Amino acid sequence: MTSGLITRRNLLVTGTALLVSGASGLSVPAQAKDVAPTASMRGGSNNYRPGAPIVDRIGGGGFWMSGTVRRAGDGAPLAGQRIQIWAHTTEGNERDQRSHGATLTDANGVFRLEMPQIVPAFGQPHGHLAYDSGEFETVFLRPVMRSSADTSLEAHFVLQPA
């Protein structure tokens, strides 16, 4: 059975909830007010290539990198934000230009880009992502996969205005 309870974690993850007044039955949107910005991760900027092109897919695909981009403070989703993605894959290493590409977030602040399967580099299967468009502070992420057999990886950005 699925629980419909709203927890603090669910509120922060979705960024939106409804506050319902028992007396009037009216509902108004609520927003989180203290969403902290994401800090850059150690090693996240390794092999970064400024200005990687926006692409529909990197290489032959088969692996999905996805996530969200929100604004620090209120947690509002940020549309049209450029996220660069690169990794060591079955088709190339993270230094190769062909292993880099960028995508834009949709109206809900969600991004998704297909790429070749990520394989271990230095013992860990991991991806690299960067927000570097200038409107907000640059953030580099280096999420590690649980298993090299995983076919997707998520990373989430909370951006602080520059």
Q: What are phi and psi of 70, to 5 degrees?
A: -130, 165
Q: How far apart are CA 14 and CA 31, in angstroms?
A: 10
Would you state the pLDDT for residue 122? Answer: 79
81-93 pLDDT tens trace: 999 999 999 999 9
Q: Is the pLDDT of residue 10 over 90?
A: no
**Residue 121 pLDDT class (50, 70, 90 cuts):** confident
Would you state the pLDDT for residue 84? Answer: 97
51-97 pLDDT tens trace: 999 999 999 999 999 999 999 999 999 999 999 999 999 999 999 99
Would you state the pLDDT for residue 12? Answer: 38
For the segment 138-156, the average pLDDT, to the nearest whole number, is: 96
Query: How many CB atoms are located within 10 Å of the residue 153 CB?
Result: 22
CB 58, CB 101: distance < 8 Å: yes
Both tokens assigned to 9: 């974690």
Would you state the pLDDT for residue 9? Answer: 40
Q: How far apart are CA 145 and CA 118, in angstroms?
A: 9
Would you state the pLDDT for residue 31? Answer: 54
Q: Is the pLDDT of residue 2 over 90?
A: no
11-51 pLDDT tens trace: 333 443 333 333 444 444 555 578 999 999 999 999 999 99
CB 20, CB 29: distance < 8 Å: no
